[in-house]
Chain A
Amino acid sequence: MSEQTTNVNLDAEETSAQEEATTVERCLSFQVDDLILFLSTDYIVEIVNDYPITPLPMVPSFVKGMINLRGQILPVLDMRLCMDKPPAEYTGKTCVIRLDIDSAPLCIVIDSVCQVLDIDFKEVRPIPVKRQQKLLNGMIDLGDGKVMMSFDCNVLLEKRY
């Protein structure tokens, strides 16, 4: 415990120095409509493209259907629709990301993948607006004027959006 506190202190003193290992996570950043989101790669299994999506009747519209990924049938959720954004045509840039949240596999559709980067979760600030997106639980300023939102994929399982 004492070690941790000293580390935090160190970080506070010299901000550019090597960050503390436990709060830094490798994240994938991606775009949905005009938002740039990031998600820890711990949740991400792979990026799958070009699998035909079989539509499923009697489900909410954000459930686009199912895909057959090498024999495993996975549900596909459209993030635009989950966040009440206008739907968009799927293009070559559209990506399907396969997630594994608490060993429940599912896929999300996003507009495009940006990059993989390390993010220190200590620097993620809560969103100061009241009526925030339920799927987002924080934001971070990257310093170059860009702001990224932390994507809370656990909410996906609770279906409260």
Chain B
Amino acid sequence: MDNGMEAMLETYLYETNSLLDALDELLVNDEKIGDFSSDDVNEIFRSMHTIKGSSAMMEFNSLATIAHHIEDLFFYIRDKGIESLDSEHKKELFDLMFRSGDYLRSEVQKVEEGSPLSAEAEIDSFASEINAFLKKISNTADEAPEETADETPAPEEKSAAPGMPEDPDAAAFLHIYLEEGSGMENLYAFMIINALQDAFVFRCYPPDVETNPDTSAEIIENGFYVAFDSREDVEQAESMLKSQAHIRSYEILENPGKKTAAPAPAASDVKTQEAPPAKQEPPVSDSKPAAAPAKAPAAVPAKAHAPVKQNLISVNVMKLDSLLDIVGELVITESMVTSAPELNQLSRDSFDNFMKSARQLRKLTDDLQDIAMSLRMVPISGVFQKMNRIVRDMKQKLNKDVRLIIEGENTEMDKNIVDSIQDPIMHIVRNSMDHGIEETQDERIRAGKDPQGTLILAATHTSSEVVITVTDDGYGMDPAKLLAKASEKGLLTKPAEEYTKKEALNLIMLPGFSTNQTVTEFSGRGVGMDVVKKNIESVGGTFALDSELGSGTTVTMRIPLTLAIMDGMKVTVGRSIFTIPIANIMQSFKITTDEIIYDDYGNEMVARMDSFYPIVRLHRFFNLETEVENLEDGILLWVEANDRSYCIFVDQLIGEQQVVVKPFPTYLNSFELKNFGINGCTILGDGSISIILDVLGLYGAAVNEK
């Protein structure tokens, strides 16, 4: 497959996936109300039309066929009005649409994976299901089923001009010739028709010009026809065509077969569009004055629709990453320049001038950094919307009545993080639906709760992290039960009486702990909360659980806004500067000699808040030369990560700074520095390199192996 084809496939997948996502969101929302608005019907119709067209272009027939049938169905609904359906049918329609959406999605997935698409028979059975539904609703609507007759009138062969279709209603035709040799005539035809579709009512001949690859030979040869009901539309459409690429030439033909209008000579005027495809220059001078005034009104609808499709572009994340890198460098270089010692040699006046410009520069680089950062940020709504769907499906399967409330879905996070928290959130939502919410409504009523369960999915921003909570008002967790279960599995590390409530709740996050007796379709597949916790921690987040027996459970996830930038505390050891993530630091303090406690191996420990913590001397662990050897002279940092808590001994603190995390050069990877608690490095304001410590890794290397 050549490059162009790959790019096209990528665009296709991106477009189809986003259409399907939008469809899902729309369906879930509409189902809550139990009705489609006519706007939504149009929306579904349009997106199915697009999927049909582009799938046929890419020759993914299964997708095209299904989309085509749904399109037919919605064409009918659009025609008759959604009001013509009774609630029973609507319910069925929702179900059918959800399944169709899933079907299309699974096909798209097959395309992505490069596996073969569904066989004809399978498509047919699904398609006939849709058709059956269409038949059903068209019968009850006691109208003669004239469904798609309007859209696809079969062109009859005999006509006045050679190849000109017969259409008694049309006032005029646009006869469009596409560029030669492009090999993508169907796609271009589809693009043109799509553009016109937003503004006009028209029919085109051959009717399936956009989708049927077989017609391409004919289009190349004879062009294709677009029939308009009124002369005005033709003129407006003509001006729209001028902005379309890939058109070789077009002509306006009066319809000789029109019933009322007097027969006109076939070709009234012919224009050739010489503009190259990429440019949108208007073609040769207007030979017909009437066309000029028509342009202005036509421009309005064209503009109104265009931006919807064009104000988003998809960019490779790699490019964004390197942009962020460069901006990071720029910021550092800027501060290097403005703090250069040579500046002191400037005269007072020129120094003031310099500082004025420097401030301006600082402002610009700050803005630039903000924008570059925001480029990677995407709203979390995509993940939340998917939960909508999961809740809906589980509601039906488990026969529980649950209302999902979504708050703060516009909270933005780094793209990578949004991708990686989707599974954990999904798992938690499933757990809440499956085990959290009471089995029956009676049970809820007896407990004095609203018969309808509530699941709240919320996201809020704090300065450096996003807090996501999943709250249900179900059973809640019983610490006693958890403890009993844990001791049964042999997971307890101390007598059950000594467990606090929080500790008991945290038992659920141990590997191999699952309170559900049986494996259900949605949860209890052997992976439990421990996996969820691990996933959250892998993106630098923390995970906490709170539950009140009888009133529900809240799961709180705190996740850093971005992985690329973090708040660090700079510390010195000898001549080296290390950066420790602020998030890990609990406290920093000085101690006196008599506070140090030794064990029988001579390991140093210190007491803090009624507990004892080991001391890790960075200079000893890393073999660094320093003058600060005495624990009284330096400073201790009490750090915690993942329930591992200890103290790091350093020479002194320099201060807090936001740093851009950079991975080590590839050459150094083989030394496995991560095992020694060295996580990456960063470039400080003066251009020097600082090593970022991984508090957890350092614990493993320094404390465990002592």
B683 at the interface (CB under 8 A from A): yes
Q: Are B676 and A57 in contact (CB under 8 A)?
A: yes
Min CB gap B162→A, angstroms: 61
Give chain A nearest CB distance to B565 CB in angstroms.
15
Please tell me if the beta carbons of A73 and B676 are within 8 angstroms of each other in the complex: no
Q: Give chain A residues whose Cβ lies under 8 Å from the Cβ of B66.
A: none
| A67 CA to B664 CA, complexed, in Å | 11
Residue of A nearest to B332 (CB): A71
Contact A66 B681 (CB under 8 A): yes
Q: Which residue of A lies closest to B660 (CB)?
A: A71
Within 8 A of A (CB), among B657-706: 662, 664-668, 670-671, 673, 676, 678, 681, 683, 687-691
The answer on a CB contact under 8 Å between A75 and B689 is no
Looking at the assembled complex, report how far the CB atom of B76 sits from the nearest CB atom of chain A, in whole angstroms: 59
- In the bound complex, CA of A74 to CA of B667 (Å): 9
Q: Give the CA-CA distance A56 to B665 in the complex, in Å.
A: 12
Q: How far is the CA of A117 from the CA of B666 in the complex (A)?
A: 31
Answer yes or no: A68 CB below 8 A from chain B CBs.
Answer: yes
Instruction: Please report the C-alpha to C-alpha distance between residue A70 and residue B676 in the assembled complex, in whole angstroms.
Output: 27
Whole-angstrom distance from the CB of B680 to the nearest CB of chain A?
9
| Contact status A73-B326, CB under 8 Å | no
Contact indicator A70/B329 (Cβ below 8 Å) = yes
Contacts A54-B576, A57-B678 given; does A68 touch B688 at CB 8 Å: yes
Interface positions of B from 636 to 665, Cβ below 8 Å from A? 662, 664-665
A71 touches B667 (CB 8 A): no
In the bound complex, what is the Cα–Cα distance between A38 and B575 (angstroms)?
35
Q: How far is the CA of A52 from the CA of B575 in the complex (A)?
A: 12
Within the complex, what minimum Cβ distance (angstroms) separates B337 from chain A? 14
Taking a contact as CB atoms under 8 Å apart, the answer to whether A58 and B671 are in contact is yes
Question: A54 near B688 (CB under 8 angstroms)?
Answer: yes
- A104 within 8 Å of B by Cβ? yes
- Inter-chain contacts of B622 with A (CB < 8 A): 57-58
The answer to whether B678 touches A105 (Cβ under 8 A) is no
Q: Provided the pairs A57-B676, A58-B622, A58-B673 are in contact, do residues A68 and B689 lie with their beta carbons within 8 angstroms?
A: yes
Judge whether A71 and B665 touch: CB under 8 Å: no
- B320 to chain A: which residues have CB within 8 Å? none
Q: A52-B688, A54-B689 are in contact. Are A75 and B623 (CB under 8 A)?
A: no
Report B625 CB to chain A, min CB distance, Å.
10
Any A CB within 8 A of the CB of B563: no
Query: What is the CB-to-nearest-CB distance from B688 to chain A, in angstroms, rounded to a whole number?
Result: 6
* Residues of A with C-beta under 8 A to B681: 54, 66, 73
| Neighbouring B residues of A71 by C-beta, 8 Å | 325-326, 328-329, 332, 683
The docked-state distance in angstroms from the alpha carbon of A105 to that of B683 is 18
Task: Select one of B624, B665, B671, B676 contacting A66, CB under 8 A.
Answer: B665
A106 interfacial by beta-carbon distance below 8 Å: yes
Question: Chain B residues with Cβ under 8 A from A66's Cβ?
Answer: 664-665, 668, 681, 689
Q: Which residues of A, 77-91, contact B by the 8 Å Cβ criterion?
A: none
A59 within 8 A of B: yes
- The answer to whether A75 touches B683 (Cβ under 8 A) is no
The answer to whether A105 and B676 touch (CB under 8 A), given A52-B688, A58-B622, A73-B689, is: no
Report the minimum CB–CB distance from A90 to chain B (whole Å): 15
The CB with the most chain B CB atoms within 10 A, among A57, A60, A67, A105, is that of A57
In the bound assembly, the distance between CA atoms of A154 and B576 in angstroms comes to 31
> Do the beta carbons of A106 and B329 come within 8 Å of each other?
no
- In angstroms, Cα B689 to Cα A118, docked, is 38
Do A105 and B665 touch (CB < 8 A)? yes
Residue of A55, A68, A105 with highest tally of chain B CB at under 10 A:
A68
| Closest-CB distance, B27 to chain A (whole angstroms) | 48
A71 to B687, CA, bound (A): 8
Residues of B within 8 Å of A, CB-based: how many? 29
Residue of A nearest to B680 (CB): A73
Please, which residues of chain A bring their CB within 8 A of the CB of B325?
Answer: 71
Complex formed: what's the CA distance from A57 to B624 in Å?
8
Q: How far, in Å, is A13 (CB) from chain B's closest CB?
A: 45
Query: Contacts A71-B683, A73-B683; is A58 near B678 (CB within 8 Å)?
Result: yes
- For residue B662, give the distance in angstroms from its CB to the closest CB of chain A: 6
Name A158's closest neighbour in chain B (CB-CB).
B670
Chain B residues positioned under 8 Å from A21 (CB to CB): none
Within A11-59, the residues touching B (CB, 8 Å) are 52, 54-59
Query: A72 — nearest CB in chain B belongs to which residue?
Result: B665
B256 CB to nearest A CB, Å: 68
Q: Is residue A63 contacting chain B, with contact meaning CB distance below 8 A?
A: yes
Q: What CA separation (Å) do A87 and B621 show in the bound complex? A: 24
| Interface assignment of A146: CB less than 8 Å from any CB of chain B | no
Q: Which residue of B lies closest to A159 (CB)?
A: B670
* Residues of B contacting A157 in the complex (Cβ-Cβ under 8 angstroms): 667
User: Are B688 and A75 in contact, with the CB atoms below 8 A?
Assistant: no
A105, B691: Cα distance in complex, Å: 19
A 114-129 binary contact with B (CB < 8 Å = 1; else 0): 0000000000000000
Interface string of B619-631 (1 = CB under 8 A from A): 0011110000000
* Identity of the chain B residue whose Cβ is nearest the Cβ of A55 in the assembled complex: B576
Q: Give the residue name and chain of the A residue nearest to B664 (CB).
A: A73
User: For residue A52, which residue of chain B has the nearest CB?
Assistant: B688
Chain A hits for B662, CB < 8 A:
73
Known: A54-B576, A58-B676, A73-B681. A68 touches B687 (CB 8 A): yes
> Distance in Å from the Cβ of B626 to the closest Cβ of chain A?
12
Whether A57 touches B623, Cβ cut-off 8 Å, given contacts A71-B326, A74-B665, A75-B668, is yes
Chain A residues closer than 8 Å to B328, beta-carbon distance:
71
| Residue in B621, B670, B688, B691 whose beta carbon sits within 8 Å of that of A56 in the complex | B691
Which residue among A52, A54, A159 has the maximum number of chain B CB atoms within 10 Å of its CB?
A54
Cβ–Cβ contact A75 & B667, under 8 A: yes
- Residues on A with C-beta less than 8 A from B665 are 66, 73-75, 104-106
With both beta carbons as reference points, the residue of chain B lying nearest to A77 in the complex is identified as: B667
**B668 contacts A56, CB within 8 Å?**
yes
> In the complex, what distance in Å separates the CA atom of A55 from the CA atom of B678?
13
Smallest beta-carbon distance A96→chain B, Å: 14
Once bound together, how far apart are the Cα atoms of A75 and B676, in whole Å? 18
B700 to chain A, nearest CB (A): 13
Chain B residue with the shortest CB-CB distance to A51: B687
A93 CB to closest chain B CB, in angstroms?
A: 24
Name the distance in Å between A84's Cβ and chain B's nearest Cβ.
Answer: 19
Closest to B619 in A: A57
How far, in whole Å, are A59 and B623 apart by their CA atoms in the complex? 11
Contacts of B668 in A (CB 8 A): 56, 59, 63, 66, 75
Nearest CB on B from A67, distance (A):
8
B667: chain A residues at CB < 8 Å are 75, 104-106, 157
Chain B: which residue is nearest A65 at the CB level?
B689
Residue of A nearest to B578 (CB): A57
Q: How far is the CA of A68 from the CA of B329 in the complex (A)?
A: 11
A68 touching B683, Cβ below 8 Å: yes
B681 to A, closest residue via Cβ: A73
Contact residues of B between 181 and 211, Cβ < 8 Å to A? none
Bound-complex Cα distance A54 to B691 (A): 9
B672 to chain A, nearest CB (A): 9
Whole-angstrom distance between the alpha carbons of A68 and B686 in the complex? 11
CA gap between A105 and B328 in the complex, in Å = 21
Question: What 8 pairs across the A-B complex have the smallest Cβ distances?
Answer: A57-B622, A71-B329, A54-B689, A58-B676, A75-B667, A106-B667, A75-B665, A59-B671
Q: What are 24 residue pairs bridging A and B, where the CB atoms are less than 8 Å apart in the complex?
A: A52-B687, A54-B681, A55-B575, A56-B673, A57-B622, A57-B624, A58-B676, A59-B668, A63-B671, A66-B689, A67-B689, A68-B688, A68-B689, A71-B326, A71-B328, A71-B332, A71-B683, A73-B662, A74-B665, A75-B665, A105-B665, A105-B667, A106-B667, A159-B670
4 further A-B contacts with Cβ under 8 Å, apart from A57-B576, A74-B665, A105-B665, are: A52-B687, A54-B681, A54-B690, A58-B673
